[in-house]
Amino acid sequence: MNILKNRDVLLAFAIVLLIGGVAARFPAFVRPGNLVNVFNDTSPLILLAIGQMIVILTKCIDLSVAANLALCGMAAALLNGMGVPLPLILIAVVLMGGALGAVNGLLVWKLGIPAIVVTLGTMTIYRGTIFLMTGGAWVNAHQMSAAFKALPRTVLLGLPVMSWIALAVIALFFVILTRTPLGRSFYAVGGNPHAAVYTGIDVGRTQCIAFVISGALAGLTGYLWVARYAVAYVDVAAGFELQVVAACVIGGIAIAGGAGSVIGAVLGALFLGVINNALPVIGISPFWQMAISGSAIVIAVALNATQNRPKGRIILKEVEPA
């Protein structure tokens, strides 16, 4: 059946099986309240995975998303300490994240530096900037206002605001990627950049826009992360970029660019979210999470390569015996 060949359907089925397997050992895991918590815990990963997916679609990669998150989160905490109103803080972190993403995009576009090199460098720069801003000091819960901490935790219609923000971003970028010229240009640039040029698409500019979107989502996630956990410091979300890339790859986004979907990125994030929440429940050390994420990347890339490998032309045929 064609439906069984659909990557998203198979991944959704795998998530259901995974939840069922955990529930067999720990039935409380499938209670509605706990499943809501799992989705809410996964919301930051979903937001970053959507931004990363758009960058990967254009044949690039953004390894600085977690450092961008940490820097914008620290900026949000410091602004809150200065008495800046929350709406202005939200606008500031989104603009700041987008600007940090634009730095990556411009270096890739104007200087032609490979994205992996650029974002490895800016990842370190952004972390270092946090240290320069604070001298290594933490911003703790007692230094944050109640309103600042309350927003992502406020429950509306059974879901925390952070989950509603994730759902809104999913819907927004699903429409952008499937119904707008900008969304089609992301796929065109990643699928065949040379053909994209002939259709009037500026490849470098499109890649830069992708980095800006990824950075803006990282900035928004920075506030949500810091406000929810009520702490900001240099190493917030350290290593989280691996989880983000893993979510994209598991969700079927082709590292070579040009293929992938918002639904796939979300399902990849949920797959990892269920694993990360289930490991402590079934008695497996959380230190295995990084190993599992790394293994998932390797396996998913191998599967993608096998499925997408073009068939070679037969130029020599075996001579049939007379």
Residue 312 has pLDDT above 50, yes or no: no
Cα–chain center distance at 294? 15
Domain assignment present for residue 243? The answer is yes
Domain assignment present for residue 91? The answer is yes
SS3 content of the chain, % helix, strand, coil (to 5): 75, 0, 25
Domain assignment present for residue 241? The answer is yes
Which residue has better confidence, 254 or 91? 91
Residue 5 has pLDDT above 70, yes or no: no
Average pLDDT over residues 112-118: 93
Q: What is the DSSP letter of 4?
A: G
The pTM score is 0.89
Residue 221 has pLDDT above 90, yes or no: yes
Average pLDDT over residues 225-250: 90
Winning range, highest mean pLDDT, from 58-62, 294-298, 312-316? 58-62
| Distance, CA of 145 to CA of 69 (rounded, Å) | 20
Residue 236 has pLDDT above 60, yes or no: yes
Task: Report the DSSP beta bridge partners of residue 160.
Answer: 155
Domain assignment present for residue 30? The answer is no
Tens of pLDDT, residue by residue over 137-196, are: 899 988 899 999 999 999 998 899 999 999 999 999 999 999 999 999 999 998 888 888
**Cα Rg of the chain, angstroms:** 21
Residue 317 has pLDDT above 60, yes or no: no
Average pLDDT over residues 29-50: 92
CATH of the domain at 269: 1.10.3470
pLDDT band at 286 (very low <50, low <70, confident <90, very high): low
Q: State the average pLDDT for the chain.
A: 87
* Axis-axis angle for helices 86-111, 115-134 (nearest 10): 140
pLDDT band at 218 (very low <50, low <70, confident <90, very high): very high
Domain assignment present for residue 317? The answer is no
Count of CB atoms within 10 A of residue 88's CB? 10
Number of domains making up the chain: 1
Domain assignment present for residue 310? The answer is no
pLDDT at res. 2 = 53
Residue 259 has pLDDT above 50, yes or no: yes
Domain assignment present for residue 318? The answer is no
Domain assignment present for residue 227? The answer is yes
Amino acid at 297: I
| Burial class for 260, CB neighbours closer than 10 Å (0-12, 13-18, 19+) | buried
For the chain, give the percent of residues with pLDDT over 90: 57
Average pLDDT over residues 74-83: 94
pLDDT at res. 223 = 96
Residue range of the domain that includes 207: 40-303
| Distance, CA of 279 to CA of 243 (rounded, Å) | 15
